[in-house]
């Protein structure tokens, strides 16, 4: 089954169509990466269509107008052209926070920064992007189960979203420093495998090496290494 879906994915790449989703195995990744590399070498598609560029411009222009309206909640997103897409709240959240932490800083908590970034952001001198640490939580079988963002400031912040299959309950986020020590950043609940967590932390974020998500029984749901 996986081989057939892998072949279908590659067929779609070759013909310029959007590939279908499937559960890839770690063995598939190298093949898929090479297929993408080779496909990207074919002339023609590496520059955007004028229609796409102008269409997105108009959409962003409308979005800029909408932001001025009270209560704007940009969770449902309309895709380009005739392909509407819907961004999940969690997906939007991690992207928005990752982005927002670079140029917009909240004054009390990361959660508040997320909740109010589009209506009442506090402009501060922009931090260079190098200050932001991001990592991807992967399970023991190398499946992506979440993302984490850490931002060095006063105070520093961590934000993460998690999406693991078939787990409900508490999870402890353990931060790992370069010297090998670990500290619990906090506990949060996963409902249906999904959850988000943000917290101000003390200490030098630049010294962080990674993070782990641990259940109360000691099982590791995922590990991330900061880039």
Q: Which residues in the 34-53 window bind another protein by CB under 8 A?
A: 34-42, 45-49, 52-53
Q: Does 120 bind another protein (CB under 8 A)?
A: no
Name all contacts of 175-181 with Cβ < 8 Å and 24+ positions apart. 175/201, 175/208, 175/210, 175/211, 176/208, 176/209, 176/210, 176/211, 176/212, 177/203, 177/207, 177/208, 177/209, 178/207, 178/208, 178/209, 179/207
The secondary structure of residue 205, as a DSSP letter, is G
Check whether the bond before 161 is cis (ω within 30° of 0).
Answer: no
Q: Does 62 bind another protein (CB under 8 A)?
A: no
Q: How far apart are CA 96 and CA 104, in angstroms?
A: 10
Q: Does 219 bind another protein (CB under 8 A)?
A: no
CB of 9 to another protein, least distance (A): 8
103 or 172: whose CB is closer to another protein? 103
Residue 163 · residue 75 · CB < 8 Å: no
Answer for which of 32, 172, 174, 200 binds another protein (CB under 8 A) is 32
168 or 181: whose CB is closer to another protein? 181
CB of 94 to another protein, least distance (A): 6
Choices 114-122, 166-174, 187-195, 215-223 (CB under 8 A): range interacting with another protein = 114-122
Answer for which of 110, 117, 171, 213 binds another protein (CB under 8 A) is 117
Of the candidates 176, 162, 156, 60, the residue with the CA atom closest to the CA atom of residue 101: 156
Q: Does 86 bind another protein (CB under 8 A)?
A: no
Q: Which residue has the tokens 């590990």?
A: 223
Q: How far apart are CA 12 and CA 180, in angstroms?
A: 45
Contacts (CB under 8 A) with another protein, residues 131-160: 131-132, 134, 136, 142-144, 147, 149, 152-156
CB of 141 to another protein, least distance (A): 10
20 or 189: whose CB is closer to another protein? 20
What tokens appear for 59 in the block? Answer: 């959409």
24 or 172: whose CB is closer to another protein? 24
Contacts (CB under 8 A) with another protein, residues 165-204: 177, 181, 183, 201-204
Phi, psi of 217 (to 5 degrees): -85, 0
């Amino acid at each position: 089954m996986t081989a057939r879906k892998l072949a279908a994915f590659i067929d779609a790449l070759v013909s310029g169509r959007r590939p279908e989703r499937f559960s890839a195995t770690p063995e598939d990744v190298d093949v898929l990466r090479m297929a993408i590399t080779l496909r990207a070498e074919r002339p023609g598609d590496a520059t955007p269509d004028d229609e796409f560029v102008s269409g997105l411009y108009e959409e962003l222009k409308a979005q800029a107008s909408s932001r001025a309206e009270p209560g704007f909640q940009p969770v449902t997103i309309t895709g380009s052209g005739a392909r509407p897409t819907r961004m999940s709240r969690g997906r939007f959240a991690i992207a928005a926070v990752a982005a927002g932490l670079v140029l917009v800083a909240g004054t009390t908590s990361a959660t508040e920064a997320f909740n109010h970034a589009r209506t009442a952001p506090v402009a501060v001198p922009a931090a260079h992007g190098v200050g932001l640490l991001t990592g991807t939580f992967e399970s023991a079988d190398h499946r992506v189960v979440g993302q984490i963002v850490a931002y060095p400031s006063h105070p520093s912040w961590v934000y993460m979203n998690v999406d693991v299959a078939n787990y409900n309950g508490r999870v402890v986020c353990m931060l790992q420093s370069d010297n090998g020590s670990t500290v619990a950043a906090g506990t949060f609940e996963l409902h249906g495998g999904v959850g988000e967590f943000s917290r101000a932390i003390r200490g030098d974020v630049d010294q962080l090496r990674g993070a782990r998500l641990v259940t109360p029984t000691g099982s590791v749901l995922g590990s991330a290494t900061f880039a």
